Structure 1
Amino acid sequence: MESALALDIRHLAKLDQLHDGARGSLTWSSGASVSFTVTLQGDIGTLTLFYTAPDRDTGERKNVACAIPLSSLPLHYGGYRWYMHCPRTGRRAQILHKWNGLTQFCHRSTVHPKPTYASQRISGSDRIMAQRWAIRRKLGDTSSDLFGEPCKPKRMRWRTFEHYANRDAELAERESGYLRRLIGRLQGMR
């Protein structure tokens, strides 16, 4: 998911770009940019995106004009909430994504295999170690390792430090149990 460009309709609304005849451009931190126009007629409309994308077959960059239908629903206390509709499925969404290799922005459910976040691909022991390192970073502890207990920073209350140290001890116990089970499975494979 992190590698995809995310187009968020709420961001356009925050920039006050959801009105008839609005034109502008969006730029992502990766350097990708998209020009857009908005056409509205009451509570429906179209967001048209203009950008270049590589052709799947030839790899050459080609100009793409992607028309995304818009609709809005009234809110209980006044106003409207705008939604985009996926060009592939018509599914209503506030965020559409564009991955490398695809020419259109689409809902994430249309991509197969389903995209995942990097944190979803971390194994059990790696996740535990990441949590233990996060505790060390919160404490500002740059000198200890995961084999010992964390170091208490100056001016931190002992009660707060003990909370973090107890959480670290729980995680260390879970990690050692995980590793014991893994070693047991590996020995059983002989």
Structure 2
Amino acid sequence: MSKQRSRVCLQDGLKLDLNRLARRGFIGFGLRTAACGLAWHHSYWGEIASGTIEADMRDPHDGWLRIELGSFVQRITLMSRPRHFGGRQWFFVCPVRNRKATVLWKPPGASRFCSRQTWGRQVAYHSQFQDPNGRAHLGKERVKSRLIAGLDPDEWDLPPKPKWMRWRTYQRYERIFDHYENMLDRNLWSLAQRFGLPL
């Protein structure tokens, strides 16, 4: 049985992932980026928020990121630390805990973006509201979405290896997918036994 929802689901809110923002060109390490449009989408509700984001990361040690969503405005401090093999790794500084984070969350009803640790037991991930069967189905769908690319999702249970993916990575996804399949099979078997149904 799934848990009672006394906590807020993190994925129903907004997420700022520093590395993803850089990959998508919204910010640039070593650059000052002008305000540009940014939107958040939910798999069920569609677009849930939109606004602008700008950042200054010209200083090699610290910077800032400013986000504006309608009347909501937040300026977040950024810092960098040297990597072991050269270069620097950038982080958000959580406005509450004053600690490094690469991802900040603004759950539904929250007044600002903060690290996952700041929200503590007020929030939970989507999978934490699922029963074992739900988690297994969710896990299979996650694997499938990583592999599906431009293929028809209804045509494949487990899609073939994408051309760009290494075999070792694909085989890891296969093992994960099989693990979830086995979970569902065991649950179905125990359910059938409980009701005396032939399999």
TM-score under structure 1 normalisation? Answer: 0.60
Backbone CA RMSD of aligned residues = 3.6
Q: Kindly state the Cα deviation for residue 21 of structure 1 after the two structures are TM-superposed.
A: 2.9
Among 75, 80, 96, the alignment partner of 2:83 is 75
Specify the alignment match of 1:9 in structure 2.
Answer: 18
Superposed, 1:35-114 pairs within 5 Å as: 35-40=52-57, 41-52=59-70, 63-114=71-122
* Residue pair 1:33, 1:51 contacting (<8 A) in 2 also: yes
Once the 2 structures are TM-superposed, how far is the Cα of residue 95 of structure 1 from its aligned partner?
A: 0.8
Cα distance in 1 between the residues matched to 2:192 and 2:115: 39
- Once the two structures are TM-superposed, the CA of residue 113 in structure 1 deviates from its matched residue by 2.9
Distance 2:193 2:98 in 1: 49
Larger relative contact order, structure 1 or 2 (CA cutoff 8 Å, min sep 6):
2
Which amino acid is the alignment partner of residue 3 of structure 1? D
Preserved contact between residue 39 and residue 46 of structure 1 (Cα < 8 Å): yes
| 1:23–1:35 CA contact under 8 A, matched in 2 | no
2:19 aligns to what SS in structure 1? helix
- CA deviations over 1:98-119 (Å, ceiling 9, x no partner): 1221121111222243422222
Instruction: Name the TM-score, length of structure 2 as normaliser.
Output: 0.58
How many matched pairs? Answer: 146
1:24-59 Cα distance to aligned partner (Å, 9 max, x none): 33222225223223234331111122223xxxxxxx
CA distance in 2, matches of 1:77, 1:172: 45
Q: Which sections of structure 2, spanning at least 5 residues, go unmatched?
A: 1-9, 42-46, 142-153, 160-176
Q: What's the CA shift for 1:8?
A: 1.1
User: Cα offset for 1:92?
Assistant: 0.9
Q: 1:103 to 1:170 in 2, by over 3 A?
A: closer
Q: Equivalent residues in 2 for 1:127-142 (5 A)?
A: 127=135, 130=137, 138=157
